[in-house]
Structure 1
Amino acid sequence: MYYLLDESELVFPHPSLADEDGLLAVGGDLSIERLLLAYENGIFPWYNEDSPILWYAPLERFVLSPEKIRISKSLKQILRSNKFQVTIDKDFTSVIKNCAVISRKDQDGTWIVSDMLDAYKRLHEAGYAHSVDVWQGEELVGGLYGVQIGKVFCGESMFSKVSNASKIALVHLAKNFGLSLIDCQIPSEHLTKMGAELIPQEEYLSILHTQQSIPYDFQRTF
């Protein structure tokens, strides 16, 4: 069962009421206020152009504890080589646009539809959404973006145009910002290899509810 949201009312049902696929609610809007309320309660939007806004709260959460990140020997060599340069929020718009168009195995289309792109750009301008940008010379070759809730970084998507670029972004995120948790949302093989794991929704929410959304805090800790 899912819940129909009223655009005039800023409220979500409790995440534990999500169905077995994680679907919790339908409708509402993508205002800054609603998006922050969602992330503060372990909820995120995920839908395509042909559907209404869908809100998810998985009953298990795929997360990475920064202190548990596993870096392969080959990736350590790449990090030492200075082959890539990393910046923060230098080109948020290009990062999210690349995440929207990059092809992924077993996935048709994208959930980063035009309304989502605009909504996260507004979140970024307000200081809540951030990007880690990976460069080779002047070319943006990889990166990730997400929403910061205190010391929890809710990762939304990542991309690579060259091998290992998104992994470089993730390592940089884990090592440099004093985060307690990186929310990866949906399980993937390569993030599992880097140390991400599933935890119960209750455990994730207990961590999340000790945090506070502070705009621009991500940049200040760099």
Structure 2
Amino acid sequence: MTAPSSAITPHLLLQGYAAGVFPMAEHRDDPEMFWVDPRRRGILPLDGFHISRSLARRMRRGGYTVSLNRDFTAVLDACADRHDTWISAEIRRLYLELHALGHAHSLEITCDGILAGGVYGVTLGGAFFGESMFSRQTDGSKLALAHLTDHLRRCGFVLFDTQFITSHLATLGAVEISRAAYHDRLSKALRLSVSITDCPLDSDPHSVLQRSTQTS
């Protein structure tokens, strides 16, 4: 189902996420958005994030900083900075509004003062709906997801929705579940009252690695 972008508000977006659907546009200049309800849904188990040996070595080497909501706009724009993108100008505006309302969040990876990777998404109850991620340096998005899954788990979240499965996400432990199974998990997550700010972000990669071995 498509709708003029002007008819969709941040409140309607949140209602859509709560109902199990999410918005997209065909391309960056598309004046309309459509709701997506995949038959098979991608999720990233918060207790099953896979840190490969090479990623673990990169984390131990350090040399990067991790932040939460330090520059949501820059992460959003970096995710849209590709040849083909569904992040239209109206979607950008709506998610900036969601961020201002405290429902959209970003996690940034910075190396030598340069934004190297990041991810952004929407929170409702105990669910995090991942929207997009990017890498400008090797492992930038993997580092972002490793730190984000750790943070969400520590805050009490129970669902990390990736919408679809890619080979990249599959290597990190993402799996596909049926629409019915997803709606069941979503219903349970929405009953929780947690926040992405319930605990401070732990930017120490060694702590993240230690916890990941205890939960995986």
User: Pick from 26, 30, 35: which aligns with 2:2?
Assistant: 26
- Distance change >3 Å, CA 215–CA 140, structure 1 → 2: farther
Q: Secondary structure at the match of 2:17?
A: helix
Per-residue deviation, residues 98-134 of structure 1 (Å, max 9, x unmatched): 0001x3xxxx521111100010000000000000111
Structure 2 residue runs of 5 or longer lacking an equivalent are 201-216
1:75 equivalent in alignment to 2:20: no
Structure 2 partner of 1:97: 77
User: Pick from 140, 157, 175: which aligns with 2:132?
Assistant: 157
1:168 equivalent in alignment to 2:143: yes
1:58 equivalent in alignment to 2:34: no
Deviation at 1:136, TM superposition (A): 0.6
Structure 2 partner of 1:86: 66
Q: Secondary structure at the match of 1:210?
A: helix
- Higher mean displacement: 45-54 or 205-214: 205-214
* Alpha-carbon separation, structure 2, partners of 1:211 and 1:187: 20
CA contact (8 A) 2:51 2:172 kept: yes
Per-residue deviation, residues 165-204 of structure 1 (Å, max 9, x unmatched): 1000101111122221211112210110111011001111
* Alpha-carbon separation, structure 1, partners of 2:191 and 2:85: 27
Counterpart residue identity of residue 207, structure 1: R
- Distance change >3 Å, CA 93–CA 154, structure 1 → 2: same
TM-score normalised per structure 1: 0.82
CA contact (8 A) 1:152 1:208 kept: yes
Could you tell me the percent identity over the aligned residues?
Answer: 33
User: Where does 1:1-222 land on structure 2 (aligned, <5 Å)?
Assistant: 25-27=1-3, 29-47=7-25, 48=27, 49-50=29-30, 52-101=32-81, 103=82, 108-178=83-153, 179-212=157-190, 217-222=195-200
Q: How many pairs align?
A: 193
Structure 2 partner of 1:19: none
Identify the structure with the greater helix proportion: 2
Structure 1 residue runs of 5 or longer lacking an equivalent are 1-24
* Alpha-carbon separation, structure 2, partners of 1:169 and 1:75: 11
Counterpart residue identity of residue 166, structure 1: S
* Alpha-carbon separation, structure 2, partners of 1:159 and 1:172: 14
Which of the pair has the greater relative contact order for Cα pairs under 8 Å at 6+ separation? Answer: 2
TM-score normalised per structure 2: 0.84
Q: Note the aligned Cα RMSD (angstroms).
A: 1.8
Deviation at 1:216, TM superposition (A): 8.9
Structure 1 partner of 2:205: none
Counterpart residue identity of residue 30, structure 1: I
Deviation at 1:215, TM superposition (A): 9.9
